[in-house]
Amino acid sequence: MEKKAFVTKEMIEEIVKKYPTPFHIYDEKGIRENAKALKEAFSWNKGYKEFFAVKATPNPFLMKILHEYGCGSDCSSLTELMLSDAAGITGRDIMFSSNDTPAEDFELAAKLGATINLDDITHIDFLEGILGRLPKRLSLRYNPGGVFKISNGIMDNPGDAKYGLTTEQIFEAYGILKQKGVEEFGLHAFLASNTVTNDYYPMLAKQLFELAVQIKEKTGVSLSFINLSGGVGIPYRPEQTPNDIRIIGEGVRKVFEEVLVPAGLADVAIYTELGRFMMGPYGMLVTKVIHEKHTHKEYIGVDACAVNLMRPAMYGAYHHITVLGKENEPCDHTYDVTGSLCENNDKFAIDRQLPKIDIGDYLAIHDTGAHGFSMGYNYNGKLKSAELLLKEDGSVQLIRRAQTPADYFATFDCFDEYRCLTEKK
Ligand SMILES: *Cc1c(COP(=O)(O)O)cnc(C)c1O
């Protein structure tokens, strides 16, 4: 499928008068349409709820848009819990799916009334030790081990993943929870990431639904909810076919009716914790070309770097690039598009066919709406960028300002006596 930027050169030329590049910009219209489609795809399930994976795009303005469509938040740390609470998403609207969890994180999750999803059997005692007694509602994260396969091959490798309880531990753990007075139970699993196929959720659902039936038989526990977690992917590459959320929702409904309904589990609520699928395509990193270099290869140097988008450096991930204003020109040049870090993996594209690029051109790097800005860091003293929201009416709102050198210096103890003294006055 052709990948089109949701901004034009003319729009960016206006925006940069106020907000200089680089910045991430999000498309409110796209976010809303997608959230609505997801909600409709699972409307057959009475208790359905999406808990947006906050780590993907931790911005309260975006979280609040999703909240309008009934989405809660999936948090994994103390600060994400605080952020969700501050955004007005609290209580049962929070799923706390963490691992290697510090005590203070569990404490806050319980205080906010979040649903806690335990990553390990030992966390039952750990949590009880912290809170004095277990919450009435608890969830367990399952990891069957092995590899996760669908018809066209291996999708991921749960056996190598640090998360979740084994099958044996799952049965034991529900027995313990029941005996300790827990009344509402959930089951969670995240077995494959960025799946660009409509088969992942239905396959995962079948596995979890069958397990739910066994749990009921073996322990007498009837689950209240089954959390399919994240992992529904997006087409980063133009040749990929996007997932169809309606087909996915229907696929899950079919196995629900085949497996859960006959077992007397028709009231189970389906939850999801999507991150990438909710935001990925609706964010772009906009950056300006500041150098070209002709050495052993042809390099285009931009004003963004891996600090603003780490996925290419970290996973060799493909992110499509549009040279704004040159959408219809032939891609007859081969470039490496680089940032300025003193790291040779700081490349947004390697040997990429693009139109002829000139200094001053604006590049839109696609699909940065999830796991983009949020993975950023401050290596080489590089500062994190602003985040902008392109609203439905075409106006632009600053939803996070760019870091300044003062932000970078703010966490040092006083080392500059003159400055510290003048600041303390
Ligand atoms: C990262 C994560 C998600 C979201 O994953 P996506 O690939 O963005 O859909 C959901 N749940 C948990 C527990 C996660 O760690």
**Could you tell me if the CB of 163 is within 6 A of ligand 1?**
no
Q: What pLDDT shows up at residue 154?
A: 81
User: Tokens representing 316?
Assistant: 């060799």
User: Tokens representing 233?
Assistant: 């992917």
Q: What pLDDT shows up at residue 1?
A: 76
> What is the pLDDT averaged over residues 45-55?
98
How many Å apart are CA 401 and CA 147, to the nearest integer? 42
| Partners of 150 in beta bridges | 153
User: Tokens representing 6?
Assistant: 């949701």
> What is the pLDDT averaged over residues 39-50?
98
Cα 235 vs. chain centroid, distance in angstroms? 15
Q: Are strands 362-365 and 347-354 parallel, antiparallel or unpaired?
A: unpaired
- Which domains can be identified in the chain, with CATH numbers? 27-280 (3.20.20.10), 283-409 (2.40.37.10)
Beta strands in 229-339 (DSSP E): 269-272, 283-294, 298-302, 321-323, 333-338
**Could you tell me if the CB of 230 is within 6 A of ligand 1?**
yes
Tell the residue nearest (CA) to atom 7 of ligand 1. Answer: 231
Cα 211 to Cα 21, 123, 329, distances in angstroms: 50, 21, 54
Q: What letter represents residue 393's amino acid? A: D
Rounded to 5, what percent of the chain is helix, strand, coil? 35, 25, 45
Average pLDDT over the chain, rounded to an integer: 96
Query: Could you tell me the distance, in angstroms and rounded to a whole number, from the CA of residue 398 to the centre of ligand 1?
Result: 26
Angle at Cα 276 formed by Cα 270 and Cα 277, nearest 5°? 55
Q: What string of DSSP letters covers 157-183? A: -GGG---SB-HHHHHHHHHHHHHTT--
How many Å apart are CA 93 and CA 152, to the nearest integer? 36
| pLDDT tens figures, 233-267 | 999 999 999 999 999 999 999 999 999 999 999 99
| b (16+ CB within 10 A) / e for 377-403 | eeeeebebbbbbbbeeeeebeebbeeb
Q: What pLDDT shows up at residue 416?
A: 74
User: Tokens representing 77?
Assistant: 């740390």
Q: Are 7 and 325 in contact (CB under 8 A)?
A: no
Cis previous bond, 60, omega within 30: no
**Could you tell me if the CB of 53 is within 6 A of ligand 1?**
yes
Measured on CA atoms in the order 197, 202, 204, 207, is the torsion positive or negative?
A: negative
| pLDDT tens figures, 169-224 | 999 999 999 999 999 999 999 999 999 999 999 999 999 999 999 999 999 999 99
| pLDDT tens figures, 364-401 | 999 999 999 999 999 999 999 999 999 999 999 999 99
* Best residue among 38, 120, 187, 229 to mutate for probing ligand 1, ranked by most atoms within 8 Å of CB: 229
User: Tokens representing 81?
Assistant: 């819990």
List the one residue out of 393, 390, 398, 399 whose CA is nearest residue 7.
Answer: 390
Q: Which residues are catalytic?
A: 342
Query: Could you tell me the distance, in angstroms and rounded to a whole number, from the CA of residue 330 to the centre of ligand 1?
Result: 37
| b (16+ CB within 10 A) / e for 281-320 | bbbbbbbbbeeeeeeeebebbbbbbbbbbbbbbeeeebbb
Q: What pLDDT shows up at residue 415?
A: 80
Q: Kindly give, in sequence order, each residue whose CB lies less than 8 Å from that of residue 315, ignoring residues fewer than 6 positions away.
A: none
Q: What pLDDT shows up at residue 152?
A: 72
| Partners of 1 in beta bridges | none
Query: Could you tell me the distance, in angstroms and rounded to a whole number, from the CA of residue 53 to the centre of ligand 1?
Result: 6
* Best residue among 49, 57, 101, 190 to mutate for probing ligand 1, ranked by most atoms within 8 Å of CB: 190
- Please check the confidence at residue 425 and state whether its pLDDT lies above 50: no
- Please check the confidence at residue 419 and state whether its pLDDT lies above 80: no
Work out which ligand 1 atom sits closest to the CA atom of 193: 7
Q: What pLDDT shows up at residue 140?
A: 98
Q: What are phi and psi of 281, to 5 degrees?
A: -70, -15
**Could you tell me if the CB of 200 is within 6 A of ligand 1?**
no
- Please check the confidence at residue 149 and state whether its pLDDT lies above 90: no
How many Å apart are CA 285 and CA 408, to the nearest integer? 22
- Please check the confidence at residue 418 and state whether its pLDDT lies above 80: no
Q: What pLDDT shows up at residue 424?
A: 53
Q: Is 156 or 391 the better-scoring residue by pLDDT?
A: 391
The separation between the first and the last C-alpha atoms of the chain, rounded to the nearest angstrom, is 60
Q: Are 287 and 363 in contact (CB under 8 A)?
A: yes
**Could you tell me if the CB of 187 is within 6 A of ligand 1?**
no
**Could you tell me if the CB of 229 is within 6 A of ligand 1?**
yes
* Best residue among 38, 49, 55 to mutate for probing ligand 1, ranked by most atoms within 8 Å of CB: 55
**Could you tell me if the CB of 340 is within 6 A of ligand 1?**
no
Which H, E and C letters describe 109-123, residue by residue?
A: HHHCCCEEEECCCHH
Query: Could you tell me the distance, in angstroms and rounded to a whole number, from the CA of residue 358 to the centre of ligand 1?
Result: 38
